[in-house]
Structure 1
Amino acid sequence: MNAEQRDQQERFERGRAKESLPAPSHPELPPDRMEARRRHLLGEVDRQARADSRGRAPRPRRRTVLVLATAVTAGAAVGVLGALDAGPGTPTGPARVPPASAASVRLLERAALAARVTPREEARAGQYVYVRTVGHTSALSEDKAGRTDLERVDDGMEQWTSVDGSEDTLQRKGGRDSVLPGVEGGGLAAPTYASLAALPTDPRTLLETIRDDAERNHGAGSGSTTGPDQQSFVAIGDLLRSGAAGPELTAALYRAAALIPGVDVAPDAVDAVGRRGVAVARVHAGERTEWILDGSTARLLGERTVLLEDGAWGEAGDVVSSVAVVAVGIVDDAGQRP
């Protein structure tokens, strides 16, 4: 695709987005400034990828639990993505993971622009963030004879999380309510509306914050083979699905993801309720993590995991976990729906 064709494609995509999105609250950047911004972003991605390539070789990911958590892994069978971050490098050095593709940077920028102009209700102390998801995970179990069975487990739920984490969290699964301890202070592993509001919205600084946490828990000496890059991608996906990130932070999260090596696009993905979209994806250890976005509005639909290799968890192409975000809102009381 030459420069003129890329410009035409970009104008077409922006036109579709404008038709589907509400009028922006601020003027959009002129095309030349937007292109300059993207060139700078791609340059930063390439710089970071070169720095990462001088680091340690990635190790095969080790499963420490049998339940495949929705937020941990994902994948699909697109050949070009299958080579990314898929295992250890050559005997002479680590496998070089390429920077985020130009297609993924463009898609992530569309998602960021959409997030910035999407109306969002402000929350106040005493309220709750409500999220409803539909989906499934996969689980391995062993019977008395020692045979291993793979089963699909319904993982749909509703959850009410206190804005500041000071109150208990209400979780409803299969018609049954569970009360979980509050998470006052929040954090990346247990985000609340208040804790996310304190995160930086500069994409590079935000990624540094997320990556520092990933280094502590998945870096050298941790025993984890997920690695900081993959864990940073997973963590951003978790924050996007939490329903607690405001428009500015959501936009920053998408732009931070564009700085992670190995990020690409899967052109056709389906969420847990059958909605089709295009996915931002990253491959690790024979699986691909996908964030499924609406092709017209760039709104997040859900996340899924697809195997790229045959194994105990299924055959290549199997969706081993999938979650669709079907409702998000701010409510006054736990148990109330928006």
Structure 2
Amino acid sequence: MNTSQFQSDRREALRRQLVELPGLAVVVPPARPRPTRRILLTAAAALVGALVVGQISVTAQSAHAAGVLRAVADQSMTFVDPVPGPGQYLLVHTHANWSVTGIDEAGNMNHGMNAQTIDVYRPANPDDDWVLRRDWGDGHPVPMEIEVIRAKDGHFYGGPWTLMSDDELAALPRDGQALYDHFNSSYQGGSASRDENNFVRITDILRMGLIPADLRAGLYQALALIPGVTASEQANFDGKVGVAIGRTEPLRAGQRAEMIIDPANGLVIGERTIMTYAAFGFGSNEVTGHTAIDYRIVDSAPQ
């Protein structure tokens, strides 16, 4: 077999392998005229090969994540969310380990981790107060007492705990494309990029764990449309394994944000933030935030 026929066969084999990946857009470079110098042929082949393999890798990861998110969205719609009965509460328990920054006696800035717990009690009766119990942990730079806050509609710190009121959540579309268009069109320059802003705004809603199943499913479908989103297996802070939906922001020194989902029901069970390379005093692959979230129905809330 001559060289030309060999390259043609390899190209066709590559094309057949790639079209088997659902949702993967593939562009196979056209054949080029053969250079007159062997060194140019070698360099060009290496460069084209690196570009093609790199693009295939990124695109394949995004396609895989999109497929995973669509499956999780479907699973969310089949799961019956826990609903408290009369006099009961839906408790959303968060066990978090977050990075904190302090100044030592010599005036040097240093980083550390601080574990804390946040319990949010949502009452079955909408006229009753929500309750928040927060243990700020021992590693907080400023000593904080365990606090218990009662507030109408969960307005613990001057705004709704879910970042959006029930009425605002109800007004959002449920279709994934429509939700993506909603967030993308309302971008106002926040975050390091538009894509990061879309990812953060959607995950900020999901992370509170108080989102109806149909909206949760639509938000997962919207996440699947954001460039650079990937999926992998990852444990939450308490060790429960789920699907980590993540995105690395190139304009934020490679910081990677991940939301960990239970694939059995579509519920968010944690988050993780990691530095993909050393920057801002953090080491390469250093975890700067890690949480675990669970949900249960309880009969009472702290007084």
TM-score, normalization: structure 2? 0.66
Distance 1:173 1:199 in 2: 30
- Following superposition, the deviation at residue 149 of structure 1 comes to 1.8
1:262 matched to 2:228? The reply is yes
Identity %: 27
Q: Cα–Cα, structure 1 residues 164 and 190, in superposed 2: closer, same or farther, change >3 Å? A: farther
1:300 matched to 2:274? The reply is no
Map 1:265-276; keep pairs closer than 5 Å.
Answer: 265=231, 267-276=232-241
Q: Deviations over 1:131-170 (max 9, x none)?
A: 1111111011113421112121123210124689876542
- Following superposition, the deviation at residue 237 of structure 1 comes to 1.5
Distance 1:162 1:108 in 2: 30
Contact 1:160 1:334 in 2 (8 A): yes
Map 1:80-119; keep pairs closer than 5 Å.
Answer: 101-119=62-80
Gapped runs of 5+ residues in structure 1?
7-34, 44-82, 85-96
Where relative contact order (Cα < 8 A, 6+ residues apart) is larger, the structure is: 1
The residue number in structure 2 matching 1:277 is 242
SS in structure 2 opposite 1:152?
strand
The residue number in structure 1 matching 2:111 is 150
Q: Deviations over 1:262-295 (max 9, x none)?
A: 1112x33221101223311101121111112346
Gapped runs of 5+ residues in structure 2?
1-15, 26-53, 136-145
- Following superposition, the deviation at residue 112 of structure 1 comes to 0.3
1:211 matched to 2:172? The reply is no
The residue number in structure 2 matching 1:177 is 148
The residue number in structure 2 matching 1:244 is 210
SS in structure 2 opposite 1:155?
strand
Contact 2:99 2:114 in 1 (8 A): yes
SS in structure 2 opposite 1:156?
strand
Contact 1:98 1:261 in 2 (8 A): no
Contact 2:132 2:148 in 1 (8 A): yes
Q: 2:195 aligns with which of 220, 226, 229?
A: 229
- Following superposition, the deviation at residue 98 of structure 1 comes to 6.7
- Following superposition, the deviation at residue 298 of structure 1 comes to 5.5
Distance 2:17 2:191 in 1: 40
Moved more, 102-111 or 303-312: 303-312
Q: Deviations over 1:221-253 (max 9, x none)?
A: xxx442332122112212222222111111101
Distance 1:277 1:300 in 2: 9
Cα RMSD (Å): 3.8
Q: Deviations over 1:281-314 (max 9, x none)?
A: 1011211111123466655321110111213352
- Following superposition, the deviation at residue 191 of structure 1 comes to 2.8
Distance 2:100 2:160 in 1: 28
Q: Which has the larger radius of gyration?
A: 2
Q: Cα–Cα, structure 1 residues 238 and 138, in superposed 2: closer, same or farther, change >3 Å? A: same
Q: Cα–Cα, structure 1 residues 281 and 168, in superposed 2: closer, same or farther, change >3 Å? A: same
Distance 1:246 1:232 in 2: 20
Q: Cα–Cα, structure 1 residues 3 and 148, in superposed 2: closer, same or farther, change >3 Å? A: closer
SS in structure 2 opposite 1:236?
helix
Contact 2:119 2:133 in 1 (8 A): yes
Residues matched between the structures, number: 243
Q: 1:197 aligns with which of 170, 173, 190?
A: 170
Moved more, 155-164 or 140-149: 155-164
Moved more, 200-209 or 97-106: 97-106
Distance 1:212 1:5 in 2: 33
